[in-house]
């Protein structure tokens, strides 16, 4: 379980590229349909020309037969009269007998025949061998090549036009994306929708403008709230610290006057703990206010000695281990200097160690540092399976927890703020790893 939100690894699909691709595909499809229609028209015109010639020949033969009572020879040398399908050339006879309504037949060695029925009772057929009159077949390869080159040329021009159109279409979107991407939480852009055209992009810009305006107002309310919280919390904490300091100075003076050699009493130890707790609460409040405001600390990358921070956190939370057979193991690997905000890291350590100390009844709590990661392990009961997936959500806690369920939620927000990665491992206790690389 990680405190960082997994990045979106889905493949980027460029809108401009899709526009160009779809435009080119559409142009190729139109070109292919145009080529098919062109070939169909060419063959249709060719057949119409042949049919017209045969019609003229049939009219001439019919007129001569009516005038003389005999059928003359056709005027065109490529045409013959047949008075039965049985007298047709062998290469088409069987097909003509099997398909009496068919008018066009393919013969051998490139010959091509057309049949025109002059009369049916008795049957009179006009047969024309038209292979020398076919115009489309000899130039079919050239026509195909011409259509292909034309399609490629038209597609190239269409792609170029689509590229210009897509650039012009997506330019406002890119400008809007750049505007939103460069926006800072404390300086959200306002009244920018008027810069964009009155179309779908303009609608999107106006919607974003309204949303960012609402976010800006919410951030302003949060800043005002955090300022009030800062004042209201810091004032009583300062009063507590000053009161404890005054009490300690009075007690120290009284003891030196009455019993100079007297050891500090229980009351003094308790007051010292109250003072330390108030001081730590003051630092914690400051850290949480920084988190609430989403402000990056100026010393985020300052050098920090880890060992004193861990030791201090152990001492501050040691009361949680009173009466428990629990051993705290602080590994020498924590003697390192790291690049981190000391206050942030102290809040993190306090939350993690207080949880470990509170819920470990016996066994061991160990703190180590390895591969730029802080490791805190305990032999406690672990995390219940039903809340494990949501353990870093605010208000989520175990059945026997006496807290409010905000400890790990604060740690999660702190990690997100500092660019750290938090991993929680459950089993034979709990192991929490904080990778301090950003």
List the chain domain ranges.
16-149, 300-435
> Using an 8 Å Cβ cutoff, are 268 and 255 in contact?
no
Q: Average the pLDDT over 252-278 and give the result.
A: 63
Query: Which pTM does this prediction carry?
Result: 0.47
The fold for domain 300-435 equals: Heat Shock Protein 90 (3.30.565)
Listed range (105-114, 163-172, 221-230) with the worst mean pLDDT: 221-230
| Encoded tokens for 197 | 């055209």
Residue 291: per-residue pLDDT: 66
The confidence band for 414, taking pLDDT boundaries of 50, 70 and 90, is confident
pLDDT reported for residue 148? 87
**CA–CA distance, 306 with 291 (Å, rounded to integer):** 21
Read off the pLDDT band of 15 (50, 70, 90): confident
pLDDT band at 293 (very low <50, low <70, confident <90, very high): low
Give the separation between CA 26 and CA 44, rounded to whole angstroms: 27
Per-residue pLDDT, averaged over 409-421, amounts to 84
82 vs 289, residue with greater confidence: 82
Which has more confidence, 23 or 326?
326
Q: Is the pLDDT of residue 389 over 90?
A: no
Mean pLDDT over the full length of the chain: 80
Is there a contact between 292 and 222 (Cβ–Cβ < 8 Å)? yes
Cα–Cα distance measured from residue 382 to residue 428, given in angstroms and rounded to the nearest whole number: 7
Residue 82 neighbours by CB under 8 Å, 6+ apart: 88, 124, 125, 126, 127
* φ/ψ of residue 71, rounded to 5: -85, 120
DSSP state of 187: B
Q: What is the pLDDT of residue 379?
A: 92
Phi-psi region at 428: left, alpha or beta (left = phi > 0; alpha = psi -120 to 50): left
pLDDT tens profile 354-370:
889 988 999 999 999 99
Which of 99-108, 148-157, 225-234, 330-339 is least confident? 225-234
Report DSSP state, residue 427: S
Instruction: For residue range 69-111, list pLDDT tens digits in order.
Output: 888 999 988 899 999 888 899 888 899 898 888 888 988 888 8
Mean pLDDT of 262-274: 65
Q: What is the pLDDT of residue 6?
A: 39
| Residue 244 pLDDT | 80
Residues 237-242: what's their mean pLDDT? 79
CA 73 to chain centre: 81
Q: Are 47 and 32 in contact (CB under 8 A)?
A: no
pLDDT in tens, 19-75: 888 888 888 888 888 888 888 888 888 888 888 989 999 999 999 988 888 889 999
Question: What is the predicted pLDDT for the residue at 297?
Answer: 47
Mean pLDDT computed over 348-357? 88
Q: Is residue 142 predicted with pLDDT exceeding 60?
A: yes
């Amino acid at each position: 379980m990680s405190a960082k939100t997994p990045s979106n690894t889905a493949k980027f699909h460029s809108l401009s590229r899709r526009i160009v691709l779809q435009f080119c595909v559409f142009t190729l499809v139109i070109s292919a349909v145009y080529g098919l229609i062109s070939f169909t028209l060419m063959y249709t015109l060719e057949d119409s020309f042949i049919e017209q010639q045969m019609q003229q020949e049939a009219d001439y033969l019919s007129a001569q037969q009516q005038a003389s009572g005999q059928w003359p020879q056709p005027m065109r040398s490529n045409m013959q009269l047949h008075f039965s399908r049985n007298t047709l050339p062998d290469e088409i006879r069987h097909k003509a007998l099997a398909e009496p309504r068919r008018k066009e037949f393919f013969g051998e060695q490139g010959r091509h025949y057309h049949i025109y029925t002059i009369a049916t009772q008795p049957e009179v057929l006009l047969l024309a061998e038209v292979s020398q009159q076919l115009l489309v077949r000899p130039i079919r390869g050239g026509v195909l090549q011409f259509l292909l080159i034309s399609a490629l040329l038209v597609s190239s021009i269409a792609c170029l036009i689509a590229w210009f159109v897509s650039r012009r279409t997506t330019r406002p979107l890119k400008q809007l994306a750049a505007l939103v991407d460069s926006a800072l939480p404390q300086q959200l852009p306002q009244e920018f929708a008027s810069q964009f055209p009155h179309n779908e992009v303009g609608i999107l810009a106006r919607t974003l403008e309204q949303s960012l305006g609402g976010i800006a107002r919410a951030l302003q309310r949060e800043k005002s709230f955090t300022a009030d919280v800062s004042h209201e919390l810091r004032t009583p904490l300062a009063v507590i610290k000053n009161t404890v300091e005054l009490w300690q100075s009075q007690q120290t003076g009284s003891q030196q006057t009455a019993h100079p050699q007297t050891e500090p009493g229980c009351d003094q130890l308790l007051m010292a703990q109250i003072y330390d707790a108030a001081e730590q609460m003051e630092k914690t409040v400051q850290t949480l206010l920084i988190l609430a405001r989403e402000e990056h600390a100026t010393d985020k990358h300052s050098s920090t000695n880890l060992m004193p921070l861990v030791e201090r956190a152990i001492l501050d939370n040691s009361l949680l281990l009173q009466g428990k057979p629990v051993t705290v193991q602080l590994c020498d690997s924590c003697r390192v200097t790291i690049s981190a905000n000391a206050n942030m890291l102290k809040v993190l350590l306090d939350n993690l160690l207080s949880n470990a100390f509170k819920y470990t009844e016996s066994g061991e709590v160990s703190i180590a540092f390895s591969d730029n990661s802080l490791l805190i392990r305990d032999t406690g009961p672990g995390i219940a399976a039903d809340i494990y997936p949501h353990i870093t959500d605010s208000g989520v806690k175990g059945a026997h927890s006496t807290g409010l369920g905000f400890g790990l939620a604060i740690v999660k927000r702190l990690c997100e703020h500092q660019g750290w990665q938090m991993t929680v491992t459950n089993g034979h206790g709990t192991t929490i790893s904080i990778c301090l690389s950003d």
